[in-house]
Amino acid sequence: EHALINLHSILISLFSNAIKTAYPTLEDIGQPAVSAGSKFADYQCNASMQICKLLKAKGENVSPNVVAKKLVECLGQCNIIEKVDVSGQGFINVWLSRNKLRDILQYVLENNLKPKPLTNPQKIVIDFSSPNVAKEMHVGHLRSTIIGDSLCRVFEFIGHDVLRINHIGDWGTQFGMLIALLQDKFPNYKTESPPINDLQQFYKQSKVLFDSDLEFKKRAYECVVKLQSMSPDHVQAWKLICDVSRKEFQKIYERLNISIIERGESFYQSRMENLVKDLENKGFLENDNGRKIMWSPESSIPLTVVKSDGGFTYDTSDFATLKQRIEEEKADRIIYVVDSGQSVHFDILKKCAIHSGLLDPSKVRMDFVGFGVVLGEDKKKFKTRSGDTVRLVSLLDEGIKRARDKLVEKGRDKVLTDKELQLAETAVAYGCIKYADLCHNRSHDYVFSFDKMLDDKGNTAVYLLYTLTRIRSIINNLGTHTQDLNEPISLDHDKEWKLAKTLLRFSEVLSKITEDFCLHHLCEYLYDVATIFNEFYDNCYCIEKNPQTGEIVKVFTGRILLCKVTAQYMNTGLNLLGINTVSRM
Ligand code: ARG
C-alpha cells in the first residue's frame, strides 16, 4: 500500500479500460471525465454523454443511461470502490471504500506522508528568481522566487532530481558604465574593496554620466569590450560589483528560506561564441542590416543572435543556456518561471531551438511558467507612495512588523514566550506573503494587501497556520491521556468521512501541479482541508472534559488519530508552499 495513492487517476484508468472493453470500436476518446465531491457521490464519471454522441455519429442510437450501465458492467474490480450506481441521466456515481481509505490514512500515520522513490526520476532544471545585478530586485522577481521555489519543492517531494538555477543578469552592456564609474570613484578598487552600499544609486549615477558625458560613454564602451575579452582588471571590477548585489539577494533568500544556485548570464559567454559559430556554419543565421538573426518557420518574429556591433543579446544568452541545459545537464524537463511579459521571447526561443535540431520536444519538455503583475491596493502597478519601486527588504520588514502587531492585537504576546512569538511572527509574515502570491491563479495579476493577507478568516496563510496549531494543541493537550493509539482511525461520522476523502485528494492535486504549474490548486486543497477539519471538530468530540474541573475524562482515540493525520497533510502541504509552520502562535 502506498501513502501517495492517487484515487482520481485510478478511477480514470478504470473507466478508460471499461470504455475500451465496452466499445472496442470507438476511437480513443481521451481521458474520461471523473470529478470529485458532488452531493450525490464521492466521485462521478460522466463519460456516457460523450460516448453517446460518438455512437450517434456512427448511426447507433442509445441513451446515456444504457451506456453508463454497460460501462459499469465492464468496470474492473478495485478495492478502493465500495459501490457504483447509475443515475437516470447516465452519470456514474462511485462510492469509495471506507476500509480502504482508512488503511491508507493508517499507513500515512505510521510511515509519514512520503512518496515511494521513483524508478525513473527526471532531471528537471528550474530557472527562477533571476534578478539583475545592480538593478532593483523587484516584486516581479519576488513572484518568480516564490512560485519557482514552491515548484522545486513539489518536484523534489515527488522524487525528481531538481536543479534550482538563478539565471542572474550579470552580463551585458550596463557593466561598461558600472566599471567606468567604479574606476573613477574608487581608483584603489584592485586592493581595497569599494564601499558601495547602495548599488542602485551607483547604477543611476553611472547612467546619468553615460547619457550626458560623451567621454564617459566612450570609456564605458571600451570597458564592455575589455570585460568580454576577459581583461583581468575589468573582470575583477565586474566581480566586485556582482558581489555587492549578491549579498543583497542573499539576504532575501535567507529570510525566505530559498535555496538556489547562482549561474548567471556570464557563465555562458564562451558558449555563446561557440553557439553563434555553430548556427552560422549550419546556415541558420541571416544578415539583416548588419544584425544576425534567426527565423523559425513557425514564428513571425526572429531571434537577434548577434547585434550589428557584434555584441550578443538576451536571445543569444538564452539560446546558449538552453543548449547547456540539454547537452551538459542532460535535462529531461526545463522550466522557466518568468513574468508573462517574456512569454513571446521564450516562445520564439523554443521554436528556433526545435528548428535548429537542438530541442526535441518528444525527449525534452520545455515549459514557460509565466505570471501576472503585482498591483497595489489602487489596482495600479505596485509602487511606494513616492512612486518608487518597493524595495523587497523593506517589504519583508513591514510584513514582520504587521505580523507582530496582529499577534499583539490578539493578545498572543501575553501567552507566548519571546522565542515563540518571534517564530510565530516570521512564520506569519513570510507565510502570508508567499501564500497571497501562490493562492491566486499565477497568470492573473494580484493585489498586494497586508490587511487581506493577515486576515485570520478566509483563504489565508494565517487561517491555515491557526488551524494547524489548533490541531497540534488538541494533540499536545492530551498529556498523559495519550493512551496506546492502537484503535483504528474513526471514519463513521459524516464529517470524519468528508475529511478523510478530502485529505486523500493530496496526490491528485500534486500531479495536477506537475502538469499546469498552478500552485493555487494546493492552496485550495489546504483551505478545504482546514475548513472541513474545523467542521469536523465542531461536530465531533475528540475529548470529553469534566465540566467542573476541566479535567479530561475520555479520549476518542480514533478521532485524535484523524487529527494527527490531518496535521501531517497540512504540514506537508504548507512546506511545499515554502511556508514554515509553528507549534504555537
Ligand atoms: N533577469 C531576467 C529579468 O529580470 C529574468 C531571467 C529569466 N531567465 C532566463 N533564462 N531568461 O527579466
Output the nine-digit C-alpha cell for 155: 518536484
The residues with which 164 forms a beta bridge, in sequence order, are 126
CA of residue 13 to ligand 1 center, whole Å: 40
Q: Is the pLDDT of residue 2 over 90?
A: no
Nearest CA to ligand 1 atom 3: 131
Q: Is the pLDDT of residue 13 over 80?
A: yes
Least confident interval from 162-171, 513-522, 552-561? 552-561
516 pLDDT band, cuts 50/70/90, is very high
Give yes or no for residue 143 CB within 6 A of ligand 1: no
Give yes or no for residue 136 CB within 6 A of ligand 1: no
- Render 108-135 in DSSP notation, one character per residue: HHHH-S-PPPPSSPPEEEEE----BTTS
Tell me how far apart the alpha carbons of residues 501 and 510 are, in angstroms, rounded to a whole number: 16
CA of residue 131 to ligand 1 center, whole Å: 7
Greatest distance between any 2 Cα atoms in the chain: 90
Cell 489546504 locates to 526
304 pLDDT band, cuts 50/70/90, is very high
Segment 85-118, tens digit of pLDDT: 999 899 999 999 999 999 999 999 999 999 999 9
534 to each of 90, 108, 436, 488, 499, how far by Cα in Å?
35, 21, 22, 21, 10
| Helix, strand, coil percent values for the chain (each to nearest 5) | 55, 10, 35
Cβ-based burial of 47 (10 A; exposed 0-12, middle 13-18, buried ≥19): buried
Nearest CA to ligand 1 atom 4: 131
Give yes or no for residue 132 CB within 6 A of ligand 1: yes
Confirm whether the ipTM is greater than 0.95. yes
Nearest CA to ligand 1 atom 6: 130
Least confident interval from 36-40, 407-411, 480-484? 480-484
Give yes or no for residue 166 CB within 6 A of ligand 1: no
Angle at which helices 461-476 and 557-576 cross, to 10°: 140
Nearest CA to ligand 1 atom 8: 167
Q: Rounded mean pLDDT of the chain?
A: 94
- Main-chain phi, psi angles of 81, to 5 degrees: -100, 130
Whole-structure pTM value: 0.96
Segment 171-187, tens digit of pLDDT: 988 999 999 999 999 99
Q: Give the pLDDT confidence score for residue 40 in this predicted structure.
A: 82
Least confident interval from 104-113, 131-140, 317-326? 131-140
CA of residue 340 to ligand 1 center, whole Å: 11
CA of residue 371 to ligand 1 center, whole Å: 13
Pocket test for ligand 1, best of 261, 318, 342, 344 (most atoms within 8 A of CB): 342
Query: Is the separation of the CB atoms in 29 and 19 below 8 Å?
Result: yes
Give yes or no for residue 507 CB within 6 A of ligand 1: no
Q: Is the pLDDT of residue 483 over 90?
A: no
Q: Is the pLDDT of residue 485 over 80?
A: no
SS3 sequence of 283-311: CCCEEECCEEEECCCCCCCCEEEECCCCC
- Of all helices (H) and strands (E), which one includes residue 49? helix 47-57
Q: Give the pLDDT confidence score for residue 290 in this predicted structure.
A: 96
Segment 529-540, tens digit of pLDDT: 999 999 999 999
Query: Is the separation of the CB atoms in 17 and 10 below 8 Å?
Result: no
Segment 376-406, tens digit of pLDDT: 999 999 988 888 888 899 999 999 999 999 9
CA of residue 429 to ligand 1 center, whole Å: 27
Query: Is the separation of the CB atoms in 276 and 316 below 8 Å?
Result: yes
Cβ-based burial of 283 (10 A; exposed 0-12, middle 13-18, buried ≥19): exposed
482 pLDDT band, cuts 50/70/90, is low
- Render 326-392 in DSSP notation, one character per residue: IIIS--SEEEEE--GGGHHHHHHHHHHHHHTTS--TTT-EEEEE----EE-TTSSBP--TTSPPPPH
Residues 321-331 have a mean pLDDT of: 98
Q: Is the pLDDT of residue 30 over 90?
A: no
Pocket test for ligand 1, best of 126, 145, 167 (most atoms within 8 A of CB): 167
Least confident interval from 25-29, 243-247, 339-343, 560-564? 25-29
Residues 227-253 have a mean pLDDT of: 94
CA of residue 437 to ligand 1 center, whole Å: 19
Give yes or no for residue 170 CB within 6 A of ligand 1: no
Give yes or no for residue 144 CB within 6 A of ligand 1: no
CA 223 to chain centre: 39
Give yes or no for residue 167 CB within 6 A of ligand 1: yes
126 pLDDT band, cuts 50/70/90, is very high
Which contacts (CB < 8 Å, 24+ apart) does range 323-329 have? 323/271, 323/275, 323/353, 323/358, 324/268, 324/271, 325/125, 326/358, 326/359, 326/364, 329/123, 329/125, 329/163
Q: Is the pLDDT of residue 136 over 80?
A: no
Q: Give the pLDDT confidence score for residue 328 in this predicted structure.
A: 98
484 pLDDT band, cuts 50/70/90, is low
- Main-chain phi, psi angles of 335, to 5 degrees: -125, 125
- Main-chain phi, psi angles of 100, to 5 degrees: -65, -45
207 to each of 170, 229, 233, 236, 237, how far by Cα in Å?
17, 23, 21, 21, 17
CA of residue 343 to ligand 1 center, whole Å: 11
Give yes or no for residue 318 CB within 6 A of ligand 1: yes
Pocket test for ligand 1, best of 337, 338, 344, 367 (most atoms within 8 A of CB): 338
Q: Give the pLDDT confidence score for residue 1 in this predicted structure.
A: 61
